[in-house]
Structures are given as structure tokens and as C-alpha cells.
Amino acid sequence: MHRALIATAGTVVGLIALLGYKSSGSLRGSQVAVSPPTTASPSTSALSPRSFTGQDVQYRYGDIQIQVTMVGNRITQISFPRESATDSRSRLINSQAVPVLSREALAAQSLSFDVVSGATFTSDAFAQALQSAVGQAGR
């Protein structure tokens, strides 16, 4: 088996973990206090979903603003308030859709493959917009 790797004019891109986001010093203020959920009024629990909208971030191709829904310190959903109602749907809807695939990614170590197809998340603008949205959670 022969293998050759040829790099043409390479561009350096930064890789930023999205779903791996954890609470850090960038969340202003202390950690959100977690109180035990009560059966009386679960909607007032600190673990009920809260939404935060970040600033609109300008970048080369336009602008992006992100709204995050968080449960505790965990991001459960992201959406884009500036997009049309169609685009901010959080689910793919199609009359011929097959069951939604799990959003769990497979770890590379558990797989065997010969080649890779795909794109990875590298956008600084997205990270800034997301940071801005999550930063609201600390207020």
C-alpha cells in the first residue's frame, strides 16, 4: 500500500471545540447555583432551560448572532435569531426523513477507515458570537 501526502499552499486554521464548551472564567460571576428541583414548581428550578442572545458579530462574509439555550452550564441548543423563521428551525423536517441520527459523535479511536471526508468547525466568528451569548449567562 502506498500513501502520499501532498500539501498545496496550506492555510492555517484554528480549531475550536463547540460542544466541548465548559464553563470557564469567561462566564462572568460565579457558577450558577444549582438547587435541588422541587416537584412543586419545576419551572423555577435553576436547571430549567434559559436562553441568552449574544452580540451580532461582523466578519468577512456577513454577520452572525447566536442565541443559546442552557441547562445549568450546558449548552443544549443554539439558534440564529437574525435568520428567517425557516432557518432557525432546530430540526430537519422532511416528509421523507429517516429517523434522526444521534448527535453523539463516534470517537476516532474506535473506528477503522482509510480516508476522511468532511469539514471541521473552525470559525472565529462563530466562536465569538457563541462566547458573547454564553457570556450573558454569567450576568
Partner 1 sequence: MGTVVSIDVRTEGADPELAGAIAEVVTWLHWVDATFSPFKPDSDIARLDRGEVSIGDCHPQVGEILDLCEALRAQTDGYFDPRAGGHLDPSGLVKGWSIEHASAWLAGAGWPDHAIDGGGDVRLRGGAESPVSRPWRVGLRHPLQLDGFSAVVGLDEGAVATSGTYERGFHVIDPHRRRPVVSVAAVTVIGPELTSTDGYATAALAMGLDAPAWLATLADHESFMIDANGDGWATPGFARYRLNGPGR
- Chosen residue from 52, 106, 137, 139 binding partner 1 by CB under 8 A: 106
Query: Is 56 near partner 1 (CB under 8 A)?
Result: no
Contact assessment for residue 138 and residue 72, using Cβ atoms and an 8 Å cutoff:
no
68 exposure class (CB count in 10 Å sphere: 0-12, 13-18, 19+) = buried
Quick one: DSSP state of residue 136?
Answer: G
Contact assessment for residue 68 and residue 129, using Cβ atoms and an 8 Å cutoff:
no
In angstroms, what is the minimal distance from the CB of 27 to partner 1? 21
Query: Is 85 near partner 1 (CB under 8 A)?
Result: no
Question: How many chain residues bind partner 1 (CB under 8 A)?
Answer: 66
| Piece in contact with partner 1 (CB under 8 A), picked from 27-35, 36-44, 48-56, 104-112 | 104-112
Contact assessment for residue 42 and residue 104, using Cβ atoms and an 8 Å cutoff:
no
Applying CB under 8 A, the residues found at the interface with partner 1 are 1-11, 13, 15, 17-20, 59-62, 64, 77-80, 83-84, 86-98, 100-108, 111-126
